[in-house]
Amino acid sequence: MQSQEIHPTTLELFLHIPIKPRTKEDPLLLAKAFRRGKPYADPYNDIEDKGGLRFVVLVSADIKIVERVLNTCPKWTAVRARDYEEERRQRPY
């Protein structure tokens, strides 16, 4: 994370749990591909969340900071698969 985006806060205070990579375990991947009624033509390649990172921040406004850093980092290919703000507007509770 670019420190100027969160200055003077430290990364340890900005993110509330350490970032850890995760992969979707085979049983969950298979359930998503074949048992959830999703119309995947090529399940393994169509499922976008086989792996990922979770960023936990204190306030929802900080999500924009994380998004901006990921979108401007040349080491990442960032794709928005879901829109948190739109989901929140549709289901505020």
* pLDDT the model gives residue 1: 52
Q: Buried b / exposed e across 39-62, counting CB within 10 Å, b at 16+?
A: eeeeeeeeeeeeeeeebebeeeeb
Per-residue pLDDT reduced to its tens digit, 41-84:
888 888 888 888 888 998 888 988 998 888 888 887 887 878 88
Model's pTM, two decimal places? 0.68
Tokens describing residue 26:
């085979």
Which amino acid appears at position 46 of this protein? Answer: D
70 vs 63: CA distance, rounded Å: 11
